[in-house]
A and B are shown apart, each in its own frame.
Chain A
């Protein structure tokens, strides 16, 4: 095992060599456990939603919000530690992260658009008040065996 950093080019002075193998393995183990635990929590919340179906709409919405935040946490751990983005120069990190902020507008605008479509369709663009109850489709005689 060499102690000199292995450089890919003359223009680079940084080599992501881990001076301490044990410390590195500890980080990898920690991140693996964090990712696994978050996934298990997500699965638990998913099953909870399944069992709550038909229950309180607000509770399901709340659980969905928690699951989204947990997924973002997973994304952070993968990029920061597995992809070593956290070890790069701050300016470089910003060139990756700042453009992704577009997603904030992207998600809000398009989901709002989808919801608006649903309302316009259901109300015939406001000219009609929809029934809130679902009706059972007609069954032709002979379909039931």
Chain B
């Protein structure tokens, strides 16, 4: 850490300098992210409350077991772990972009921002596939004594307990599960996906500004650092979305 000399006994709150030794923009980015953490926290906790109030909740390993190109193979957790690793890797490339920015290396920032944006787009592509799979994929469900086809949407949930011994066209037949499942899943992963999308847009703007040499003119790459904080936050939130929806 390079730190310019500060006279001994200087009071941080004495005026004339930033009390946190940090630029206003960066401090406010941190406080924005903290408030955003409360928004996500409130969503996840309301999901937890609803789940605790239900007698039955679908097993995520049963719901999220598909992988593109593998048809009906039972691969629990496989696709979501791919998505998790994509986000971790794009977070690492973002760290490297910020680091190159500290070293005033424009080419390096450009390279790592490019990979970060690509990682973000890959994650969004994965999420689009997963949503499509859930919304369009129907399952056999016993409703009012009749077997019906039902998909996972905000108003329908085919993932209730299975009806023992009942088969229909060679498939097990379930019962409708708690309706809240779809609303919470699409609502919270959608809110996170919207953060990823806005993160990609912010990173894209930063990439263009780096290429135009704006930060070299300004003399520092602090904007990359702020964009980086936002991007890492997206990864941080995914840790908890992953925990609450896919693991437990």
Contact = CB atoms under 8 A, between A and B. Distances in A.
Contacts of B236: 75, 78-79, 83
B30 interface: yes
B23 A143 contact: no
Contacts of B122: none
B73 interface: no
A137 B175 CA distance: 9
Interface of A: 1-9, 11-19, 21, 24, 28, 32, 35-36, 39, 42-43, 45-47, 49-50, 53, 64, 67-68, 71, 74-75, 78-79, 82-83, 85, 87-89, 91-92, 95-96, 99-100, 102-103, 106-107, 110-111, 113-115, 117-118, 121-122, 134, 136-140, 143-145
Please name the 3 residue pairs, one residue from A and one from B, whose CB atoms are nearest each other, closest first.
A114-B52, A140-B145, A114-B49
A83 B3 contact: no
Contacts of B229: 83
Interface of B: 1-6, 12, 16-23, 27, 30-31, 34, 37-38, 41-42, 45-46, 48-55, 59-61, 76-77, 81, 84-85, 88, 91-92, 94-96, 99, 102-105, 142, 144-147, 161, 163-164, 166-169, 175, 219-222, 225, 228-229, 232-233, 235-236, 239-240, 242-243, 246-248
Contact of A111 (B30, B31, B52, B84): B52
A117 B122 CA distance: 41
Contacts, number: 213
Given A39-B81, A50-B61, A24 B99 contact: yes
A1 B235 contact: no
A83 to B, nearest CB: 5
23 contacts: A2-B104, A6-B221, A8-B220, A12-B17, A13-B4, A13-B6, A14-B21, A15-B2, A15-B3, A17-B2, A43-B81, A50-B59, A50-B76, A53-B59, A68-B243, A79-B236, A88-B22, A100-B37, A103-B41, A110-B46, A137-B142, A143-B145, A145-B168
